Amino acid sequence: MSDTISPPSTHVRMGSSRGQPLTRRDGLLKVTGTATFAADNNPQGLVHAVVAVSAIARGRVASLDVTAAKAHPGVIEVITPANRPPLAIDPDQKTGLFGFRFEALQNDRVRYAKQPIALVVAETLEAATEGARLLSPTYEAEAARMGFDDGERYDPPAIGIGAPTNFVRGDIAAGHAAAVHSIKTDYRTPAQYHNAMEPHAIVAEWDGDRLTIDSPNQAIVMSRGLFAGYFGIPAENVFLRSPFLGGGFGSKAIMPGPYILAILAARMLGRPVKLVLPRDQMYGPVGHRGATEQTLRLAMDADGHLTALEHHATAQTSSFDEFIEPAANASHNLYASPAIETRQQAVRVDIGTPGPMRAPGEASGSAALECAIDEAALACGLDSLEFRLRNYAETDPASGKPFSAKALRECYSRGAERFGWAGRPLAPRQMRDKAGHLVGWGMGSALFPAPMFMAEARATLRADGTALVETAGADMGQGAWTALAQIAADGLGLDIEQVEFRSGASDLPDGGVAGGSGHTATAGSALYNAGTDAIAKLAELASSDPDSPLFGSGNAGVEARGGRLYHREDETRSQSYAEILSRAGVATLEGTGKGGRDPAQAEARAMFSHGAVFAEVKVDPDLGQMRVTRLVGAFAAGRIVNPRLATSQLYGGMIWGLSFALHEEAIHDRRSGRPLNADLAGYHIPVHADIPAMDAILVDEDDPYVNGLGIKGVGEIGITGTVGAIANAIWHATGVRAHRFPIRIEDLI
Ligand code: MOS
């Protein structure tokens, strides 16, 4: 195995496939309905499961009428805490990086509304649904704690994903003492729930102590191990398939309790079980973005340079787990200030545990930070862009380290130019359109970390000169099947049509996590390295063959492209892959590779994608109705593998930003604790009519340190910056500053 995780590319010509705006390789399958999603699997003997969920948020289930449900035609079994078979691990234990405590009917406690309280299994979905309805539970309810003031406030432990960081750098008091201008402001962000088109779904089938699972998953091999742990079987006994996901957004990186219940039911009954969560059950046990309250204090000198930046955030979590939306982290890496302090507290409420949701922390945190920056610019009498430029961080404010690459200045200038920012009046309520609507312009900076995880891949050259490349990666819809195959093709010096790409199953090399905007960089590096490993072996064969035109050239003496190896000094000396393999009598030649961050670079440099978002809004002066009419983002994220797919990712993020700013909010009833808008009618997300003309500019950025391929991520950054840009534009249109999201008409009155 090639242990080089940042490949020095000696023999592969850079990028014939990378950089091409190819359409999705799986696009035709998807639009013709032939792509197989988890719930499309119907193994022989399949039965259907439906989860019954709690109608209260806190207390216990006093009774369930199992008799009526079991008597219903077609119902096979009702699983409750009374008859639930044991698990090898208590679901209240936290195991591993993605360990969440969850409900698998371990007792009669209710910890949030829509918590699973029973599982009904039946021959048909209809019978299971009716069986769940017949349970008629009664409860002993306790008062639900739903608000920031109701629940216990505490300092959350810094563990696992979403780990909050309390952070101080520099002298905050001195920063405030030196200030000429200052602002103190606060913002509230709501709970948001996952609404992937494909809800959580699982088909589980046992064969003795071997388990096959079809389920959408962002971390396939890691999840295989976690599933195995709960059922006390070796990881090799679990085969997990997840070829396509109808959206992931972080929710499908964790295993919710209902999955465990479905697997339990399949083992209990000796039949395959299918469970698909209905839309309203997406508002309970599968994670969400937790609500936050944030306070920022910014101090500036006479020239508008920050002298102190404080960002304190309180986030809601459940009564039984620790994940919080780490919002204050957003202030660590963007603006230069001699003193920065961030604090994060948690409040326990009786709702399901939050989890990762696209740009966890950065989305909510940057919404507040970018509004606060606008308020600070105004306090200094400066244009918002000018203020951001005066506080441009040349090195990472949190660590003092140099950035691996940072083209944010170019993002500001290209975005501002495309948008037409110059000449924007400083004062609000200065612009109107012909119809008399108030027009406002706002901006926000975008930032997202460029992490890498660990991944492995295999590349197999075949006798005909084509190749098979394999990694257990996840295509959530972002286009991994295409972008990863493009990188793999380059590693092999082949055209993409000659590369068969296999992914999305747990018997393939570990593709790592599709999350953190790090999947393309990580799995891509593994694939690239696997390809170069195979080519190195191929070059070895040619170089040691006395009859080869490449005899004696050595690995470093050849270049691979178009399915041939060429002598570096003499282009007339070349040989095709097929010919080299056939002369050596080798049917297939396998290379392997790993992807991950070079620890020395991780230590030396701060690594982020950057961007700038500009928004225009129009507000009806009488009705307060708000419309986003233009949205321009410019983003620098290293080398772009596929501009078409990257642009789509950025559009998606910016649309989510618009959703965050103006639409999205889960409303919980304070007495019952139930989500009141647990469907796509009541839970507002933008439709086409809400989405304006958009531009996503890809700013060239050469990052030689982030990884050997120079790739960062584009999956999450689009949300950051956009929320603030829209909120700032609404202020600019109206002169009214809303301090909560989503911004509502009544906030402007
Ligand atoms: Mo994402 S919230 O990193 O899947």
pLDDT of 128 above 50: yes
Helix ranges restricted to H, 420-479: none
Angle at 428 between CA 424 and CA 434, to 5 degrees: 75
Q: What is the mean pLDDT of residues 360-377?
A: 98
Atom of ligand 1 nearest to the CA of 252: 4
Q: What is the mean pLDDT of residues 157-181?
A: 84
pLDDT of 15 reads 55
How close is the Cα of 721 to the center of ligand 1, in Å? 17
Atom of ligand 1 nearest to the CA of 248: 4
**Sheet containing 467-470, strands listed edge to edge, beginning at the edge strand earlier in sequence:** 499-502, 467-470, 455-462, 588-595
pLDDT of 98 reads 76
pLDDT of 156 above 90: no
Q: What is the largest CA-CA distance in the chain?
A: 86
How close is the Cα of 267 to the center of ligand 1, in Å? 31
Q: In this predicted model, what pLDDT tens digit does every residue of 56-100 receive, in sequence order?
A: 999 999 999 999 999 999 999 999 999 999 999 999 998 776 789
* Residues flanking ligand 1, CB < 6 Å: 218, 248-250, 253, 356-358, 360, 515-516
Q: In this predicted model, what pLDDT tens digit does every residue of 237-278 receive, in sequence order?
A: 999 999 999 999 999 998 899 999 999 999 999 999 999 999
How close is the Cα of 46 to the center of ligand 1, in Å? 32
Q: What is the mean pLDDT of residues 137-166?
A: 84
How close is the Cα of 65 to the center of ligand 1, in Å? 40
Q: In this predicted model, what pLDDT tens digit does every residue of 485-540 receive, in sequence order?
A: 999 999 999 999 999 999 999 999 999 999 999 999 999 999 999 999 999 999 99
Q: What is the mean pLDDT of residues 351-361?
A: 96
Ligand 1 atom 4 nearest Cα:
250
Alpha-carbon distance values, 642 to 5, 22, 252, 480, 520 (Å): 22, 7, 24, 10, 11
- Which of the four pLDDT bands, split at 50, 70 and 90, describes residue 159? low
Distance of CA 627 to the CA centre of its chain: 27
pLDDT of 21 above 70: yes
How close is the Cα of 251 to the center of ligand 1, in Å? 7
The answer for residues whose C-beta is within 8 angstroms of residue 5's C-beta and 6 or more apart is 525, 529, 594, 595, 596, 597, 598, 707, 708
For 322-410, strand residue ranges (E) read 340-348
pLDDT of 708 above 70: yes
C-beta atoms surrounding 305 within 10 Å: 19
In degrees to the nearest 10, what's the CA dihedral of 387, 390, 393, 394? Answer: 150
pLDDT of 304 above 70: yes
Structure tokens of 464?
């005909």
* Candidate of 98, 358, 475 to mutate for ligand 1, largest count of ligand atoms within 8 Å of Cβ: 358
Distance of CA 554 to the CA centre of its chain: 43
pLDDT of 160 reads 55
Atom of ligand 1 nearest to the CA of 359: 2
* Candidate of 716, 717, 719, 720 to mutate for ligand 1, largest count of ligand atoms within 8 Å of Cβ: 716
Atom of ligand 1 nearest to the CA of 514: 4
Local structure of 687: helix, strand or coil: coil
For 318-437, strand residue ranges (E) read 340-348, 431-432
How close is the Cα of 722 to the center of ligand 1, in Å? 18
- Which of the four pLDDT bands, split at 50, 70 and 90, describes residue 6? very low
Q: In this predicted model, what pLDDT tens digit does every residue of 589-605 receive, in sequence order?
A: 999 999 999 999 999 99
Question: Sign of the C-alpha dihedral, residues 738, 742, 745, 746?
Answer: negative
- Which of the four pLDDT bands, split at 50, 70 and 90, describes residue 157? confident
The answer for residues whose C-beta is within 8 angstroms of residue 115's C-beta and 6 or more apart is 53, 54, 103, 284, 285, 352
Domains of the chain: residue spans and CATH: 27-35+452-596 (3.30.365.10), 38-142+195-283 (3.30.365.10), 288-451+603-748 (3.30.365.10)
Contact in structure between 574 and 565 (CB atoms under 8 Å)? yes
pLDDT of 164 reads 63
Cross-strand partners of 392: 335
Contact in structure between 64 and 137 (CB atoms under 8 Å)? yes
How close is the Cα of 249 to the center of ligand 1, in Å? 5
- Rounded to whole angstroms, the Cα distance separating 224 from 284 reads 23
Mean pLDDT of the chain: 95
Strand 238-241 versus strand 210-214 pairing type: parallel
Residues annotated as catalytic are 716
> What are the percentages of helix, strand and coil residues in the chain, rounded to 5?
25, 25, 45
C-beta atoms surrounding 333 within 10 Å: 22
ipTM: 0.97
Question: Is the previous residue joined to 116 through a cis bond, with omega within 30 degrees of 0?
Answer: no
Angle at 227 between CA 221 and CA 230, to 5 degrees: 145
- Rounded to whole angstroms, the Cα distance separating 334 from 304 reads 16
Q: Kindly state the percentage of the chain with pLDDT values over 70.
A: 97
How close is the Cα of 516 to the center of ligand 1, in Å? 5
Q: What is the pTM of this model?
A: 0.96
pLDDT of 162 reads 52
Atom of ligand 1 nearest to the CA of 360: 2
Atom of ligand 1 nearest to the CA of 218: 4
Atom of ligand 1 nearest to the CA of 249: 4
The answer for residues whose C-beta is within 8 angstroms of residue 72's C-beta and 6 or more apart is 122, 127, 130, 131, 134
pLDDT of 749 reads 83
